[in-house]
Structure formats: structure tokens, C-alpha cells
Amino acid sequence: MKNCLALVLPLTLALLALPSFARAQCPTQPAAPVLNPKSVCFPISPDHNVTEAGQNKVDGYKLLIKKVSDGSTLATVDIGKPTPVNGTITLGSPAVPWTPFTTLPLGVDYTTTTVAYGRGLETPDGASVSFLKPSPPAPAGTATVYP
């Protein structure tokens, strides 16, 4: 029993010394569709910095922008492998919107899917909450000018 404790205690301490690989968090995702999104944030793949046989497991990321109505992909944006900050990658900001969001047609519900790729393989994550580029309102009636 004493020998068992002598083995277990150092092993337990060694495990506690390992770095934590908990995934970082982006801002809380709203439950309702987002109107006119300006940025996108996602946690990096747990394999972001991993190599196998001298090759990166993750060479980069793609963001798929899809129509909610039929799931068709409208845009695939290869963002490469940006340097993460606190375990997340953020594209765009309220001051400088992410360009692909600004070019989408109005009046359509969209969703995004992040795909990690490397060594000829791809792994998509789940779809984001939907977002909408609302159409402008219908014009008011023609004004009548009175004398």
C-alpha cells in the first residue's frame, strides 16, 4: 500500500502540472438572429499548434456563409491561420466590419460554419446562430406638396 501511494502521488502531481487545454470563449452568442453583423469570433481548434510527423495538423480555417433557407453555401472564405488571441480568432470589429459580411445580399438569413483544415482533411464545426442583412423598409408614399 505504501509503495502504491509513493507511485500515485508523483503521478498525480505531474498530471496537475500539465497545461490546461480548455477552449477559450468568444462573447456570448445571442439567442435571436443577429442583425447586420460586423465581426465573427471562434475558438481555435485544439490541434491549432499540433504537429504530426513534422506537419501541422491545422494549416488554416475557412468560414462558410450559408443560407438558412436551403443550406446552400454562398461564400467560402479561406482566412488562413491567423494568430489567435486568448485561444480565439476574431475577424472584423464594430468600427471595421469584416468585408464578406458587407457584400452579402440584403433580406436573407445566413449562418456560418467554421472549418479547420490541414493535410488534405477538413473538420467543420456546428453552425452559428443565424444572422440577417435586413432589407431596407419600403418607401413611404409620395409626398404631396401644397401651395
Q: Determine the Cα–Cα distance for residues 76 and 65; give it in Å rounded to an integer.
A: 6
Say yes or no to pLDDT of 114 above 70.
yes
pLDDT tens, position by position, 52-71: 999 999 999 999 999 989 99
The terminus-to-terminus CA distance of the chain in angstroms comes to 104
With contact defined as beta carbons under 8 Å apart, do 114 and 63 qualify? yes
The pTM assigned to this predicted structure is 0.71
CA dihedral for 46, 72, 38, 78, sign (positive or negative): positive
Q: What is the pLDDT of residue 13?
A: 31
Q: Is 11 helix (H, G, I), strand (E, B) or coil?
A: helix
Say yes or no to pLDDT of 9 above 90.
no
Instruction: Work out the pLDDT band at 18, boundaries 50, 70, 90.
Output: very low
Residue with cell 480568432: 89
Q: Determine the Cα–Cα distance for residues 39 and 76; give it in Å rounded to an integer.
A: 16
Phi, psi of 134 (to 5 degrees): -65, 150
Closest CA to 133 of 83, 62, 61, 68: 68
With contact defined as beta carbons under 8 Å apart, do 96 and 90 qualify? no
Which option is the CATH number for 38-133: 3.30.390, 3.30.70, 2.60.40, 3.10.20? 2.60.40
pLDDT tens, position by position, 22-55: 345 777 777 778 888 888 888 899 999 999 999 9
62 CB-contact burial (10 Å; exposed 0-12 / middle 13-18 / buried 19+): middle
